[in-house]
Amino acid sequence: MKFWAGETPNESIKLKHDYVMDSVINYYNKEDPKINYKYKKLFLDNGAFSALKNTNPNKSLLNKEKVLDVQETLKPTFTVPLDYPFTPEMPNSIMRKRWLETKSNIEYWSDATKLDLVPALHAWDSNSLENNVKWLYSKDFDYISLGSILTAKDEFSGFFGDRQPSKAFIDSIITSQQIANKFDMQVHIFGFGSSPIMYHIGAYCGLKSTDSIGYKRKAAYGKIILPQKGERYCGNGEAKFGINTKGDSIENFLNKDDMNQLENCECPICRTQPKNAKIRWDNMRYDWVKRTHHNKWVMEQEEKIAKQFKDDKLEYEKFLNTTIGKSGLKHLWEYTKRRINHYKLDLLY
Ligand SMILES: [Zn+2]
């Protein structure tokens, strides 16, 4: 599964990216929109989700011509026609109406631009999920992104937008992917790759790509990511992070296995240091830029690992059993396997 590293408007550090995810929202009010970092490929989200969170959900404050203008100016590798996500409070009738508007934008974009489009799929129940995927298929799209998906009626815990690791969330991913598979379509989920564990769960479910800004945000909050695990504290104990660090030492935050991973980390930051967990941990404690580089590198290795197992699901499963299957989120991994291997699509209807 492809990992797109997310960028933010915070340009205090400039990373070099192979694959980067950015959003129209970061350029929407700029007179002369320009990308100020290096990249190979750019996936540009349309900003609808950020706009939804910040404004009255009943009307989008984004102007569609202006969104398209920014997209045309920045010329991303992939971009998303302006869509209208749902919030849990919306009645079905409003969701339907918003999907109709989303559809009309998808058609508008298809006519107006030659950019590669990855339209957002929204659904308010199982039927609309299947119908809406079919509609996208009929418009010749083979790469789509998941927007707000409700797979079971009144099942708001599975609401996309919350994006907390939960069984309901995994359900909506698996169901969407299974339906997309029927039409040979590939699926992108925004913001799913914030931890190695969720990333691998997504890859195992057959998702084509995800992105996350989590590696950078975690670094800013004094956290480092460890391979096939989650985050560990590696900060300087500033009070604003709310952690009492009196007498803090590496042993309080990393167990033996964690330390072993850090000793063997080959990221551009750690490999300049001796193979000693404490030295490497100290090296990153006072520098969030170093943590950012470490975290980004770890996520990119996860992508390589998932790729290695691309054609051998059984081996991948074995590998994940011995890694994420021993993590704090192992119940989600076990649930994912059960859902994929034992529930067939037709049982969901
Ligand atoms: Zn490292």
Q: Residue 44 pLDDT > 80, yes or no?
A: yes
Q: Residue 126 pLDDT > 90, yes or no?
A: no
Residue 246 C-alpha to ligand 1 middle, in angstroms?
25
Ordered by where they begin, the domains of the chain are 2-212 (3.20.20.105), 225-305 (no CATH), 314-348 (no CATH)
Residue 106 C-alpha to ligand 1 middle, in angstroms?
42
Residue 6 C-alpha to ligand 1 middle, in angstroms?
19
Residue 42 C-alpha to ligand 1 middle, in angstroms?
25
**Mean pLDDT (whole number) for 292-309:** 96
Residue 262 C-alpha to ligand 1 middle, in angstroms?
6
Q: What is the share, in percent, of the chain residues with pLDDT greater than 70?
A: 88
Digit-coded pLDDT (tens) for 314-346: 999 999 999 999 998 999 999 999 999 876 554
pLDDT at 343: 66
**Mean pLDDT (whole number) for 277-291:** 96
Residue 200 C-alpha to ligand 1 middle, in angstroms?
19
Cβ atoms of 116 and 77 within 8 Å: the answer is yes
Q: Which of 59-63, 114-118, 122-126, 287-291 has the lowest mean pLDDT?
A: 59-63
Residue 264 C-alpha to ligand 1 middle, in angstroms?
8
Q: Residue 187 pLDDT > 80, yes or no?
A: yes
pLDDT at 123: 92
Q: Residue 154 pLDDT > 50, yes or no?
A: no
| pTM score | 0.89
**Mean pLDDT (whole number) for 118-134:** 93
Residue 265 C-alpha to ligand 1 middle, in angstroms?
5
pLDDT grade for 248, boundaries at 50, 70 and 90: confident
Residue 65 C-alpha to ligand 1 middle, in angstroms?
43
pLDDT grade for 232, boundaries at 50, 70 and 90: very high
Residue 195 C-alpha to ligand 1 middle, in angstroms?
15
Residue 223 C-alpha to ligand 1 middle, in angstroms?
12
Q: What is the share, in percent, of the chain residues with pLDDT greater than 90?
A: 70
Residue 284 C-alpha to ligand 1 middle, in angstroms?
9
Q: Provide long-range contacts, Cβ within 8 A and 24+ apart, for 130-133.
A: 130/179, 132/99, 133/176, 133/179, 133/180, 133/182, 133/183, 133/185
Whose tokens are 């989120």? That residue is 329
Provide the token pair at 17. Answer: 């990216």
Residue 224 C-alpha to ligand 1 middle, in angstroms?
8
pLDDT grade for 349, boundaries at 50, 70 and 90: very low
pLDDT grade for 54, boundaries at 50, 70 and 90: low
Question: What φ, ψ does residue 78 adopt, rounded to 5°?
Answer: -135, 145
pLDDT at 7: 87
Residue 19 C-alpha to ligand 1 middle, in angstroms?
20
Residue 294 C-alpha to ligand 1 middle, in angstroms?
4
Q: Where are the alpha helices (DSSP H) in the chain?
A: 48-54, 64-74, 92-112, 126-138, 167-182, 196-204, 214-220, 256-263, 277-285, 288-308, 313-322, 330-342
Provide the token pair at 103. Answer: 């559809």
